[in-house]
């Protein structure tokens, strides 16, 4: 059984099964979870809700990729913690890139929950 967290997590991934599984796991851990399948939907959700952690895939279809999405959301709320997930090279994140955490895909459930917990808490 998970613990209750008041943190709101926005999960953005165009791969439905990854997004749905991550959301289910984090809800089970007691987080409030919002889901978006593209960056436009994510921006709309971020405008309506107080987001504590953004978990986004790096490579997204559309006008923005995950880094650009994170920059847009952080421009409105600099306190949002950012986790970038990708099966690619973590060097795409520069050392000080918004303080973003890189979560390599595929990730195990405990890796996801640990990354989110560490960023949701502080």
Domain boundaries, the chain: 1-37
Looking at the predicted structure, is the pLDDT value of residue 62 above 60?
yes
Q: Would you state the pLDDT for residue 87?
A: 85
Looking at the predicted structure, is the pLDDT value of residue 26 above 60?
yes
Among left, alpha and beta (phi > 0; psi -120 to 50; other), residue 65 is beta
Mean residue pLDDT across the chain: 90
pLDDT in tens, 106-118: 999 999 999 999 9
Cis amide leading into 106 (omega within 30)? yes
pLDDT in tens, 73-107: 999 999 999 999 988 777 766 655 667 899 999 99
């Amino acid at each position: 059984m998970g613990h209750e967290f008041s943190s709101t997590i926005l999960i953005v991934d165009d791969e439905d099964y990854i997004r749905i599984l991550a959301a289910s796991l984090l809800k089970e851990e007691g987080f409030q979870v919002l889901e978006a399948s593209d960056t436009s939907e994510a921006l709309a959700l971020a405008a309506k809700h107080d987001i504590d952690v953004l978990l986004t895939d790096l490579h997204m279809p559309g006008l923005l990729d995950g880094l650009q999405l994170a920059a847009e959301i952080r421009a409105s709320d600099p306190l949002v913690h950012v986790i970038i997930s990708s099966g690619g090279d973590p060097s795409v994140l520069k050392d000080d890139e918004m303080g973003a955490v890189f979560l390599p895909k595929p990730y195990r459930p405990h890796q996801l929950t640990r990354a989110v917990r560490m960023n949701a808490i502080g």
